[in-house]
Structure 1
């Protein structure tokens, strides 16, 4: 299992687009690795189709996408045609690769197995993991869903917006934040520095009298 802030493990793997070495594939981009229990399964197909639809939004943010499933490359390629048809998009192949993890080596290494959901052979299914990795190859976010629950990829876009903003600005994003909403000034920023950096800052009055809820328009 990888902890936040740690360098994400590098690996070489076969994918639907050929063999890759993960860190080289990321390059200087952000990346999202999202895993799936199996090819030709209903929830997974809806997820991959949603990612096809949202591909341009992730591309605008400089984010590369890569999926993983515990089936072989040929299965991935065939499944990709179903995904494209379900997404109702005109393209010859998926706009992102799918890693083949037939031996479940990556699923085990990255802590992605679902103990409660198994294949007909009795093997544990890969859970629906999401890893967001920065250009520095460090893990910025991880979410682990059970095999039975589909993910919300609009939420992942929102998270990417927050991660990219807070990576360079001294702010945090509050509950339910969306792109363009007000942000919170970090507690580590002194009062004097905050006044200089965020001239439109507003401090919320609280019963404690402590001035820690400091809002500012999105930098």
Structure 2
């Protein structure tokens, strides 16, 4: 099976599959975006109800993502002309401008590289996926949704902030973490570190679970 035909999922911690594609804002090449984070998301089809609500929701978080050094990029297996007509329709009927580029992936080349086509659901449309790629081009997180259910975009903002906090402070984020909450300190690796940990000023529930503010 060729790389272009592969339906394997990209792997966390590895370089995100590079691609070059046409978008509603001109050509784009993923490797040219190094230095910025990228949130790449797919939708099943233009001119569909759930996807329209999602595009408006993604437009609403575009500026907040940009302030976090994130490039937002959409994708479906529709054509450029369909994308442009739909974007114009959203602006005219809903009053919402779509500020991010949308990839036209008629040959499914990008969709296959990223495992966006799930044949049991639909062999000719992408599922709703979100890929978080860091400023070094490394795949950091992925979220998949079925075609029937729209995404909760505040979780996308939260995930970006969690990943960037992890990188900046070399910590982890606990369940239900929100920006401003305490983070988790890495557990000790030796008995000596374990004893020392309890006196380092962290909020410790026990030797292996300690929190701090950042």
1:44 matches 2:51:
yes
Measured in 2, the distance between the counterparts of 1:178 and 1:188 equals 24
- Give 1:11's aligned residue: 19
TM-score (norm 2): 0.87
Larger strand share, 1 or 2: 1
Aligned pair in 2 of structure 1 residues 188, 78: CA closer, same or farther (>3 Å)? Answer: farther
TM-score (norm 1): 0.85
1:65 matches 2:72:
yes
Measured in 1, the distance between the counterparts of 2:196 and 2:45 equals 51
Q: Which has the higher contact order (CA 8 A, sep 6+)?
A: 2
Give 1:22 shift.
Answer: 1.5
2:76/2:125 contact within 8 Å kept? no
Give 1:31 shift.
Answer: 0.6
Aligned pair in 2 of structure 1 residues 176, 69: CA closer, same or farther (>3 Å)? Answer: same
Give 1:74 shift.
Answer: 1.1
- Give 1:170's aligned residue: 170
Within-5 A mapping of 1:1-219: 1-24=9-32, 26-85=33-92, 88-89=95-96, 91=97, 94-118=98-122, 123-188=123-188, 190=193, 200-205=201-206, 211-217=207-213, 219=214
Give 1:83 shift.
Answer: 3.0
Measured in 1, the distance between the counterparts of 2:68 and 2:91 equals 22
After superposition, the CA RMSD in angstroms is 2.0
Aligned residues: 203
Give 1:112 shift.
Answer: 0.8
Q: Secondary structure at the match of 1:142?
A: strand
Q: Secondary structure at the match of 1:113?
A: coil
